[in-house]
Amino acid sequence: MFETLTDSFTAAIKKIRFHDDEKALKKALQELKKALLKADVHHKVVKELIVKVEYDTKASGIGKDQFLEALRNTLYEILEVRGNQGFVFAPNPPTVILMTGLQGSGKTTTTGKLATYLKHQKKKKVLVVAADLQRLAAVEQLRQITEKIEVDLYSDETNSDPVVVVQSALVKAATSLYDVVLIDTAGRLAIDEALMQQLQEVKEAASPDEIFYVADSLTGQDAVRTAQSFREKIGIDGVILSKYDGDSKGGVALGIASQVEVPLRFIGSGEKMEDLEVFLPERIVNRLMGLGDVEGLAEKTAGVIDEKTAKELTKKIKKGKFNFNDFLEQIESMKKMGSMKSLMGMIPGMGAMSKAMKDFDLDNSQELNQIKALVSSMTPKEREDPDLLNNSRKQRIAKGCGLSQMEVNKILKQFKNASKMAKRFSGKKGMKDLQNMMTQMQGGGFPR
Ligand SMILES: Nc1nc2c(ncn2[C@@H]2O[C@H](COP(=O)(O)OP(=O)(O)OP(=O)(O)O)[C@@H](O)[C@H]2O)c(=O)[nH]1
Ligand SMILES: [Mg+2]
């Protein structure tokens, strides 16, 4: 999702070849400028960034490392906005959050994602409130979402006044000891008086700890402008950028930070409930620079795989004993983590891979379904040790899962190779090997 920007930065850095070469620096800055404008970053922000990178690079002596350092610091300065980061809990529960935004920006989906995040990663008891009584199907949409993620919903369709709904929801939240209350509100096509009036009333009734503004990143500079209006008219404490996985140019994140001056708190990176990431400037800068986000990945993984399982798995991989049972378990865990593409971008050095890799759909991949069918026709012992399979068993299995024997052989062989590779790369030197290999495949990448 940061590919466009990351790629442009890589291109810019490649222009600097020689130590102490002012011409090379000028070229790199030009490249950077073009890239940022193309990524839909506001021209004022671009200008500021270029001036600062140039000044800092010169101050420390022109060179690749200095340029990188200046770029990294400047990006960090832009993205680091005073205010809260991630999700902040009120001293006394429940923490009440008002979700606002224009029509279709992703409020309802993001409310579901936040609830999922709070439930699984933070182990909180969450109440979602249906306060969008404008759109006919809004309450039903939220009901379906909350049922799926198994989070409680407060709704009252006999009432058409969101203020009353919010008031009763808060009473319920207090008596039933909820940790967090997320209030989904109605959107409008554009900012108008009626919307602001209603939001103001809901805000007074809810007295929220924080107001989140959900901005559709696909709308680029418009998202920045409407966020500014919401900030002036209602007051917002954080921005969540939705649809960052789409064809967005990425620059909108820089625009929100520098022009709206409200901290970006989360990024929505897909349609699944798990596709929400905490926005931490330092991590994002690392990713923009193509260095990956190890903490983010660990956090995401920790929510679904417990530590013990993870350790056992690592042990198995090291011994080359990773088998088909483990494989199926892994696939299930991965599904819980959200889309592959967003995960790949977090692994150091894999940023470029995630672009190359089409969004791999774990539910509908034909290859995966074949493997699953094959595994389900194997006995538990065979799953642990596929070497036990002789020809006649392979034939039976092929019949059982509707594959040809050739396909069965192919999958078994691939799996064996993968297991060997995993063993090789799990050793001390392994990670370095893997990184070297990736860098070669990508034809460069950032120098470290
Ligand atoms: N790809 C992608 N789609 C998203 C994301 N967030 C929301 N969407 C999609 O955007 C559409 C609108 O999302 P909603 O959550 O219904 O938006 P809303 O702001 O509640 O809309 P209204 O209630 O009509 O104002 C849905 O189809 C969502 O699936 C995201 O991060 N990535
Ligand atoms: Mg909605």
Ordered structural domains, the chain, with CATH: 3-79 (1.20.120.140), 95-278 (3.40.50.300), 296-442 (1.10.260.30)
Q: Which atom of ligand 1 is nearest to the CA of 138?
A: 23
Which residue's CA is minimally distant from atom 30 of ligand 1? 243
Identify the nearest ligand to the CA of 218 by its number: 1
The CA 271 to ligand 1 mean position distance, Å, reads 8
Q: What are phi and psi of 128, to 5 degrees?
A: -100, 135
pLDDT band at 381 (very low <50, low <70, confident <90, very high): confident
pLDDT digits (tens, 9 = 90+) for 183-195: 999 987 777 888 7
What's CA 36's distance to the chain center, in Å?
A: 21
The CA 98 to ligand 1 mean position distance, Å, reads 17
Mutate to test the pocket of ligand 1, among 136, 184, 271 (most ligand atoms within 8 A of CB): 271
pLDDT digits (tens, 9 = 90+) for 314-371: 666 666 666 777 777 766 666 665 555 555 555 554 555 555 444 555 566 677 777 7
Cis amide prior to 94 (ω within 30 degrees): yes
pLDDT digits (tens, 9 = 90+) for 395-425: 988 888 888 888 888 888 877 777 776 666 5
Nearest to 433 by CA among 420, 424, 446: 424
For ligand 1, residues with CB inside 6 Å are 101, 103-109, 132, 135, 138, 187, 242-243, 245-246, 268-271, 275
Dihedral, CA atoms, 316, 322, 327, 329, nearest 10 degrees?
-30
Mean of all residue pLDDT scores within the chain: 80
306: which 2 tokens?
A: 């417990």
Contacts 24+ apart (CB under 8 A), 410-416: 411/370, 411/371, 411/374, 412/386, 415/324, 415/327, 415/371, 415/386, 416/386
116: which 2 tokens?
A: 């999922």
Which residue's CA is minimally distant from atom 5 of ligand 1? 243
pTM: 0.70
Q: For 20, left (φ over 0), alpha (ψ -120 to 50), or beta?
A: left
The CA 104 to ligand 2 mean position distance, Å, reads 7
